[in-house]
């Protein structure tokens, strides 16, 4: 009997190791449908439109908008020379040529219609918010976190100032490029291919951001924080690769300081010593955090605390202690959470230069300063939201199901505040009345509101506001100068002269006040004193068109015809839509028998000021001298319809001469 061969027991062959083993199986990752991410982007864009739609009907204000747009004749020169001018000059104490180019382009498209400026600012903010959404997705790959960050950033009321204020254009523009630079850097840091291309893109966006607002200098620190979050090994090459970024930051930082010094915006440390500024900085650091959650009592200007007998209110001395306590709590409970650490350090690095440790400007905080920095706080809050809604925070477990609805309600509340703040920025009057309501002792608010009412011809309402401004801040020169203007127009020359003298004594470098006093000297026939003031005004500001226009009147009073024409012409060159210069030059030309040239100037004047009854009457007289009776009669009738008391005999005579 043949015995069956026994099968030998063998160990598994190497091939068997390639077979799936149940215990080794990895958990399959469910692929997220791409459309959900796209829906989040769409929701962010829609939410931004809803929140900021009221800003589209806002107008210009008298707070920096004249310096940037309405009275800035540099943006009207849309030529190579005009465009190049922005790259080698400062505007309002800032170097931001790309911001100015955006405003110049809008002026070139639609002149001074506020809608286009507000529309573009809203679009730029929405684009910046979409960049924030994308960045949040790249850094976390979490849809809830992405949606939270994008929606909160786009609707937050603290961003209204940057969007609804036309002069705030620099914030939304630099913010957009800043976040795009960070996105490019993320791809550089995490990709194995095209690293050189991504670095170059990051560099380009960084330069564009710096050209929009110099505070973008913090970007290299933000890049290091992304390195930390994506777990790049901490080696010397991480610093070296950012050398070009740091060099750019240093260069633009120096330029920014010089720009601020050009308008004396950097305060002396004698005003507030460094110890005081530590209190201010601690307060500001905490205030921005508080306003993230409860953005109440928002204002366009937050003034420094007032000292009493050399001391600030007691709470100010506790802010450093409160801040230190919060940082200690963070270190104890959140230092191991990378998202939380990233968010806090991002916020701290972005806000540091804006905490008034370097004394720039006169506001202790500003809503617009939070624009970039809030990404860090929102990122932290997003991380907490994801944990809370998934039940990972024990104290919130009981409400984890309703927590997303509570957050949604909070965001809706924030969106409504944003819409209401857009209404506050409707115009100059609504802006400063809101500021006075929030801060009744804010001297500059009374002055700015008074100036707006003065331009509307509401002298009786404006004077008490200037007086209130002076009472609150007796060393503030502008309300004296502005009140002097009204006194002069009302024929109260002694009061006007006293106000002009006081304004100049307080601030001998305000050229417009010298022009105003020179006009008053002309009225009083003190021509030598008037000439000295005109010279001083033009020494302080050689490009002040109003000074040339008024000096032309002074020249005309002294029968210096050629000098008067030259001054009027210079004024028109500097400010092509200055009505008074055309009116005055037209009168001077007519007086010296250059009738056609004079009428041409009066034509332009009446195009600029079609409501001027006096202008129509002057042109009527010029037509009469030219024996153009029909046009003379038409202008006289128009002057009368506008309220000018035309002599009945003059009208009857013109009717006869015109054959009517």
Q: What is the pLDDT of residues 146-197, one digit of tens each?
A: 999 999 999 999 999 999 999 999 999 999 999 999 999 999 999 999 999 9
Kindly state the helix (H) or strand (E) to which residue 363 belongs, with its residue range.
strand 363-365
Indicate the burial class of 647 (C-beta count within 10 angstroms; 0-12, 13-18, 19 or more): exposed
Is the pLDDT at 368 greater than 60? The verdict is: yes
Domain boundaries, the chain: 51-424
When pLDDT is averaged across residues 479-495 and rounded to a whole number, the result is 96
Is the pLDDT at 9 greater than 80? The verdict is: no
How confident is the model at residue 267, as a pLDDT?
Answer: 63
Model confidence at 93, pLDDT cuts 50, 70, 90, reads confident
Q: Angle formed by the axes of helices 114-140 and 169-190, to 10°?
A: 20
Q: In whole angstroms, how far apart are CA 157 and each of 48, 127, 293, 294, 617?
A: 11, 17, 10, 10, 51
Structure tokens at 77: 């020169």
Q: In whole angstroms, how far apart are CA 146 and each of 150, 403, 480, 567?
A: 6, 17, 53, 61
Under a CB-based contact definition with an 8 Å cutoff, are residues 297 and 438 in contact? Answer: yes
* Helix, strand, or coil (residue 467): helix
How far apart CA 182 and CA 132 sit, in angstroms, is 10
Give residue 15's Cα distance to chain centre: 69
Model confidence at 12, pLDDT cuts 50, 70, 90, reads very low
How confident is the model at residue 26, as a pLDDT?
Answer: 39
User: 598: how many CB neighbours lie within 10 A of its CB?
Assistant: 24
Q: What length is written for the chain?
A: 660
How far apart CA 231 and CA 222 sit, in angstroms, is 14
- Threshold 0.85, pTM exceeds: yes
Is the pLDDT at 215 greater than 80? The verdict is: yes
When pLDDT is averaged across residues 416-435 and rounded to a whole number, the result is 97
User: 382: how many CB neighbours lie within 10 A of its CB?
Assistant: 25
How confident is the model at residue 4, as a pLDDT?
Answer: 39
How confident is the model at residue 239, as a pLDDT?
Answer: 87
DSSP string, 511-538: HHHHHHHHHHHHHTT-HHHHHHHHHHHH
Percent over 70 (pLDDT), the chain: 94
Render pLDDT for 507-561 as a digit per residue (tens, 0 to 9): 999 999 999 999 999 999 999 999 999 999 999 999 899 999 999 999 999 999 9
Under a CB-based contact definition with an 8 Å cutoff, are residues 224 and 238 in contact? Answer: yes
How far apart CA 449 and CA 168 sit, in angstroms, is 20
Q: Angle formed by the axes of helices 511-523 and 527-540, to 10°?
A: 170
How far apart CA 395 and CA 393 sit, in angstroms, is 6
Render pLDDT for 219-243 as a digit per residue (tens, 0 to 9): 999 999 999 999 998 888 888 999 9
How far apart CA 422 and CA 118 sit, in angstroms, is 11
How confident is the model at residue 266, as a pLDDT?
Answer: 66
Render pLDDT for 66-78 as a digit per residue (tens, 0 to 9): 999 998 888 988 8
When pLDDT is averaged across residues 448-465 and rounded to a whole number, the result is 96
* Helix, strand, or coil (residue 564): helix
Model confidence at 268, pLDDT cuts 50, 70, 90, reads low
Model confidence at 308, pLDDT cuts 50, 70, 90, reads confident
Residue with tokens 């034509």: 603
Q: Which of 571, 514, 582, 527 is nearest to 548 (CA)?
A: 571
How confident is the model at residue 576, as a pLDDT?
Answer: 87
* Strand duo 363-365 + 302-303: pairing: antiparallel
Averaged confidence pLDDT in the chain: 91
When pLDDT is averaged across residues 388-398 and rounded to a whole number, the result is 81
CA atoms within 13 A on the CB side of 481: 22
Render pLDDT for 14-61 as a digit per residue (tens, 0 to 9): 444 444 444 444 334 445 558 899 999 999 999 999 999 999 999 999
How confident is the model at residue 563, as a pLDDT?
Answer: 94
Render pLDDT for 121-143 as a digit per residue (tens, 0 to 9): 999 999 999 999 999 999 999 99
DSSP string, 8-46: PP-PPPGGGGGS--GGGPPPPPPPPPHHHHHHHHHHHHH
How confident is the model at residue 282, as a pLDDT?
Answer: 95
């Amino acid at each position: 009997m043949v015995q069956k061969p026994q099968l030998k027991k063998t160990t598994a062959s190497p091939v068997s190791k390639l077979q799936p083993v149940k215990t080794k199986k990895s958990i399959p990752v469910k692929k997220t449908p791409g459309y959900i991410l796209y829906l989040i982007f769409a929701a962010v864009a829609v939410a931004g439109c809803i929140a900021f739609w009221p800003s589209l009907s806002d107008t210009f204000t008298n707070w920096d908008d004249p310096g940037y747009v309405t009275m800035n004749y540099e943006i009207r020169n849309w030529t190579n020379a005009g465009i190049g001018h922005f790259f080698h000059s400062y505007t309002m104490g800032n170097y931001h040529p790309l911001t100015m180019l955006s405003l110049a382009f809008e002026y070139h498209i639609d002149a001074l219609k506020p809608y286009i400026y507000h529309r573009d600012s809203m679009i730029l903010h929405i684009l910046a918010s979409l960049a924030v959404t994308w960045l949040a997705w790249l850094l976390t790959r979490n849809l809830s976190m992405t949606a939270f960050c994008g929606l909160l950033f786009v609707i937050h009321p603290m961003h209204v100032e940057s969007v609804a204020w036309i002069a705030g254009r620099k914030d939304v523009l630099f913010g957009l490029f800043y976040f795009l630079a960070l996105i490019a850097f993320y791809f550089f840091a995490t990709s194995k291919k095209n690293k050189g291309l991504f670095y170059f893109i990051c560099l380009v966006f960084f330069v564009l951001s710096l050209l929009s607002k110099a505070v973008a200098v913090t970007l290299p620190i933000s890049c290091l924080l992304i390195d930390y979050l994506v777990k790049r090994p901490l080696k010397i090459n991480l610093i070296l690769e950012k050398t070009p970024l740091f060099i750019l930051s240093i260069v633009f930082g120096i330029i920014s300081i010089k720009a601020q010094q050009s308008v004396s915006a950097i305060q002396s440390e004698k005003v507030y010593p460094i110890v005081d500024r530590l209190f201010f900085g601690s307060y500001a650091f905490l205030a921005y955090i508080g306003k993230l959650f409860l953005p109440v009592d928002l204002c366009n200007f937050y003034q420094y605390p007032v000292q009493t007998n050399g001391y600030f209110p007691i709470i100010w001395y506790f802010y450093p202690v409160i801040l230190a306590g919060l940082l200690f709590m963070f270190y104890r409970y959140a230092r191991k959470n990378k998202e939380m650490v990233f968010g806090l350090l991002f916020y701290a690095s972005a806000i540091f230069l804006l905490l008034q440790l370097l004394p720039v400007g006169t506001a202790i905080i500003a809503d617009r300063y939070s624009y970039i920095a809030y990404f860090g706080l929102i990122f932290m809050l997003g991380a907490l939201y994801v944990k809370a809604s998934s039940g990972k925070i024990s104290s919130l477990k009981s409400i984890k199901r309703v927590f997303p609805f509570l957050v949604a309600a909070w965001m809706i509340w924030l969106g409504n505040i944003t819409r209401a703040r857009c209404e506050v920025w409707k115009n100059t009057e609504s802006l400063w009345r809101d500021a006075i309501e929030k801060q009744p002792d804010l001297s500059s608010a009374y002055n700015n509101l008074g100036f707006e009412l003065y331009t509307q011809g509401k002298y009786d309402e404006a004077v008490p506001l200037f007086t209130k401004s002076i009472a609150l801040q007796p060393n503030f020169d502008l309300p004296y100068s502005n009140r002097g203007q009204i006194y002069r127009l009302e024929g109260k020359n002694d009061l006007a002269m006293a106000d002009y003298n006081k304004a100049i004594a307080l601030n001998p470098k305000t050229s417009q006040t010298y022009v105003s006093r020179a006009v008053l000297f002309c009225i009083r026939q003190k021509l030598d004193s008037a000439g000295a003031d005109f010279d001083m005004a033009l020494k302080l500001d050689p490009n002040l068109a109003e000074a040339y226009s008024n000096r032309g009147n002074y020249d005309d009073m002294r029968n210096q015809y050629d000098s008067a024409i030259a001054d009027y012409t210079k004024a028109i060159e500097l400010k092509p839509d200055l009505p008074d210069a055309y009116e005055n030059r037209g009168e001077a030309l007519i007086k010296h028998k250059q009738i056609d040239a004079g009428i041409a100037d009066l034509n332009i004047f009446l195009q600029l000021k079609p409501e001027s009854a006096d202008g129509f009457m002057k042109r009527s007289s010029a037509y009469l001298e030219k024996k153009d009776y029909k046009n003379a009669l038409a202008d006289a009738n128009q002057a009368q319809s506008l309220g000018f008391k035309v002599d009945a005999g003059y009208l009857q005579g013109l009717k006869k001469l015109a054959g009517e």
